Chain A
Amino acid sequence: MPWLKKLVGVALILGVAGAAAGWLLSAPVKLDAATLAQLGPGDAARGKRIFYAGGCSSCHAKPGAQGDARLQLVGGLELKTPFGTFVPPNISQDPKDGIGAWSVADLANAMLKGVSPTGEHFYPAFPYGSYARMKPSDVADLYAFLKTLPAVSGKAPDNSLAFPFNIRRGIGLWKRLYLSDQPVIPLPDGTPEPVMAGRYLVEGPGHCGECHTPRDFAGGTRKGQWLAGAVAAEGGGVVPNITSGEGGIGNWSASDIANYLETGFTPDFDSAGGAMVDVQRNMAELTADDRAAIAAYLKAIPPHPNGYPARKKSTK
């Protein structure tokens, strides 16, 4: 059956070509020289704000650490997701176990492109899908601030992921689909300055969409349901809708939102819980203007109904 042989041959060629294309398409891409040139010298005082906006300690502090111990970024938290368990590594200034030996360009490639100094892809559990929208100069400021934090030795355990998610190269395809430095919500010229500033904080360093936006089959955020709430990727339960759509927080005023970010209290004096507690404590370290900007942006974005399925009514 010569036709069968031919078919197998074609399939083989296609397969090899596909794999080769996949290999090329999945290659890690680092920042270009023009972007690196925008990093600038960096300022630790300004970087402190970016550190809290970015919530680095929520994932990289030792689990359960309180107070100043949250500045010891030894890693070790277990993020249990459907893809497996991710463990944020030591990013303290220890030159061996942490990132004390990294250059500012190394940090910028990690945060803006998800690429390691040795040219490997990071998993998007490190929320660079959001950090990619940050200004290079803010990364340089953050770098300067991280330099002021203690060096702590000790390696965190490795990620434990099932096949095929354990193959880093495959992340290159994910990046082609989802990695972008462009804003999620287009805002017209003449949009008030606080809304613009809020967009930057929410969509970039604040990475609010990573938890509050539902994801598609490949783990990308659904931009058409931006911040509509989602089934929690980690820890169970749901993450609420923070748009003004049905089920969301349309009845919260801008100052209710800003107050929640500062104190953790909702307008009816419930107190924030779950993964939001760390986020809120970080937000409390920002200025009142920054919190007001975030609130202004949340009031300005398109409303959506809840991005997670309704729970079955309990039988009572």
Chain B
Amino acid sequence: MKKLVIAISMLALAASAAFADPIRDRQALMKERGKIVGGLSKVAKDEEPFDAAAVLTQLQALQANAEKFDIDALFPKGSESGDTTAAPKIWEDMAGFKAVEDKYLADVKAAVAAAPADADALKTQVGAIGSDCGTCHQGYRIKKG
């Protein structure tokens, strides 16, 4: 009996170890997303000077980040538990979740393609991108305290 309990808890441990990485990886990518958008939004709000080349580099970094965001690899089944704020709804509605990320990527690409020439243009783009962050976090994320 005791052995069985140990065996089961080993299994549980192994399972959480296997999933520890995708959770950490997706959180690291999200954090990077936040940092980049944070820098851009300071420029959009005129808190920092507008430099077209630097802004474009940041937008490209945002696109690279989004292209690295491989949902199948980062959100394997079972990775909804543990130290994560991902909502179970992701796995109930994987297609919907992917559609939001696709729209986000499309908006980032559009911003890169139409490189903003001034802070006002950037503001509009950051507004659209920021709204995508909110839409996804609204449906697919839960703060657990």
On A, residues with C-beta under 8 Å from B are 229, 235-240, 263-265, 268-275, 277-278, 280-281, 306, 308-311, 314-316
Contact = CB atoms under 8 A, between A and B. Distances in A.
Nearest to B17: A316
A269 B16 contact: no
A43 B76 CA distance: 53
Given A273-B137, A316-B83, A265 B143 contact: no
B20 interface: yes
Interface stretch (B64-72, B108-116, B127-135): B127-135
Contact of A238 (B37, B134, B145): B145
B14 to A, nearest CB: 12
Given A265-B37, A270-B34, A316-B20, A281 B142 contact: no
Nearest to A64: B139
Given A269-B37, A314-B82, A237 B144 contact: yes
B134 A277 contact: yes
A273 B82 CA distance: 19
Given A237-B87, A264-B134, A269-B41, 16 more contacts: A264-B133, A269-B37, A269-B38, A271-B130, A271-B133, A273-B138, A274-B138, A274-B142, A277-B135, A280-B134, A306-B145, A309-B145, A310-B145, A314-B81, A314-B83, A316-B16
Interface string B9-33: 0001100100010000000000000
A237 B145 contact: yes
A261 to B, nearest CB: 12
Contact of B134 (A237, A281, A315): A281
Contact of A271 (B34, B83, B145): B34
B98 interface: no
A278 B13 CA distance: 38
B77 interface: no
Nearest to B145: A238
Contacts of B135: 277
Nearest to B83: A314
Identify the interface centre among B82, B85, B141, B143: most chain A CB within 10 Å of its CB: B143
A168 to B, nearest CB: 32
Nearest to B140: A273
5 nearest A-B residue pairs (beta carbon): A273-B137, A269-B38, A269-B34, A237-B142, A271-B133
B41 A274 contact: no
A213 to B, nearest CB: 15
B36 to A, nearest CB: 8
Contacts of B145: 229, 237-238, 240, 306, 308-311
